[in-house]
Amino acid sequence: MSARWLIAATALLATPAAAQEVTWAEDLADRFERALVAGDYRVLPITEDFTYTENGAELDPWDGLWRTTTAVEGAVDFPELDFRVEHARDLTAVRVVEYLENGVHGVMAYRLVAREGAIASVEVLPIREEFGGDRGGTITLLQPMLEFTMDGELVEAASPAYLAFGGALDDATLRARVADYFAAYSGEVPAGLTFAEDCVRVDNGQQATGVADAPVLDPEQPGFHPYALGCEEQLRSRFYSNFAAAEPTVYTDPARGLAIAFVRLDQAGTKLSFEAPGVGAVAYPGPRGAVEGADTGEQFDGRVLTNMITPMSVNGVYLFKFDEAGEISRIDAFYRGAPLGRDAVPD
């Protein structure tokens, strides 16, 4: 019996019912992670109507990650894994945690719902790393190439900011601010949505704002570097206006100024460029037909380029840290591509 379990069990004797529900949800999430590594759900207490969902599809608990997961940060001692952010309230535990699957690194985000001391459902969104290699590696997984693909070696330990207490916003305001953030992809930033001066966004383990040597997006606009911009400037540039966000599902911890949002972003493929204020028309990267006179059977030269103009959906989890002034100070986004309209996130 682990020391963490003993502490949780002892706390049950002296805490209110609501706190006990959180304790049970956290304990069941711990046990779920260990069972996933063991590949055997039978060691878990589950309800008669238990459901397991992966990438939006309901699976038998013997399938999917149950057959392929070899390590989960915190569930086993594995030095290469170190990212973990967790939150629990009432009978729901939400976690974003690094894991290993058949030698492939990734980050899994999941929601576990408990009922009467047992697990009623688990919904998992696995974001696996992309790489080249034997038999083509995993590059694109038959989807257009994202701006930042998962690279497990670049995913570092979660920022201590996510653990620090100190928040100025209540549940409703946190949810509203997250919704405002995705609405601001159009380039219109609501007045209440503000950012700390040193705000940073990290996508799939790679810094996506304030990168001094960021590449040019469009060769015709060599002075425009979207990833060199700050969090607010990047939104105002309309760089993300090719995406339309579905309504996010948001879990909040006001005491920590933490919000965890599951969201699907749809890229219709009909927007080939955007008007960046003060810059002009900027073309999105992506395939626009074969080079004139080229042998289309030999065009591929081993490069895999960002594609922001092909129809697809991006399913992801976004972590937001709001500081004591109510401003966004950090965003960590983990996401993967899917066919357009494919919804793989917990609703």
The pLDDT value given to residue 51: 97
* Residues found in the chain: 347
CB 229 within 8 A of CB 211: no
Closest CA to 137 of 319, 304, 3: 304
Confidence category of residue 323, pLDDT binned at 50, 70, 90: very high
Number of neighbours of residue 304 by Cβ within 10 angstroms: 14
- The larger pLDDT score, comparing residue 327 to residue 339, is at 327
195: CB partners within 8 A, 6+ apart:
230, 231, 232, 327, 328, 329
Radius of gyration of the chain (CA): 21
Residue 153 has pLDDT above 90, yes or no: no
- Which pair of tokens denotes residue 90? 């009432």
Fold of 161-338: Nuclear Transport Factor 2; Chain: A, (3.10.450)
The pLDDT value given to residue 180: 97
What is the percent of the chain where pLDDT is above 70? 85
Number of neighbours of residue 227 by Cβ within 10 angstroms: 21
The pLDDT value given to residue 9: 36
Phi-psi region of 270 (alpha: psi -120 to 50; beta: other; left: phi over 0): alpha
> pLDDT tens digits, residue range 96-125?
999 999 888 999 999 999 999 999 999 999
> pLDDT tens digits, residue range 306-315?
789 989 999 9
> pLDDT tens digits, residue range 3-29?
333 333 333 334 445 556 678 899 999
- Domain ranges in the chain with CATH number 3.10.450.50: 3-128, 161-338
CA distance 280 to 302: 32
The pLDDT value given to residue 185: 96
Rounded to whole angstroms, what are the CA distances from 306 to 56, 139, 145, 202, 269? Answer: 25, 12, 5, 17, 13
CA atoms within 13 A on the CB side of 12: 13
- Which pair of tokens denotes residue 113? 């719902």
pTM of the predicted structure, to 2 decimals: 0.89
- The residue ranges of DSSP E strands in 66-184, in sequence order, are 69-72, 84-89, 92-101, 104-115, 118-128
- Mean predicted confidence (pLDDT) in 274-285: 96
Residue 194 has pLDDT above 70, yes or no: yes
Residue 167 has pLDDT above 90, yes or no: no
Domain 3-128 has CATH 3.10.450.50: yes
154: amino acid identity, one letter: L
* Burial call 75-114: b when 16+ CB within 10 Å, e when fewer: beebeebebbbbbbeebbbbbbbbbbbeebbbbbbbbbbb
Q: Is 339 exposed, middle or buried (0-12, 13-18, 19+ CB in 10 A)?
A: exposed
Q: List the Cα angle 141/247/202 in 5-degree steps.
A: 55
> pLDDT tens digits, residue range 78-93?
888 999 999 999 899 9
Confidence category of residue 291, pLDDT binned at 50, 70, 90: low
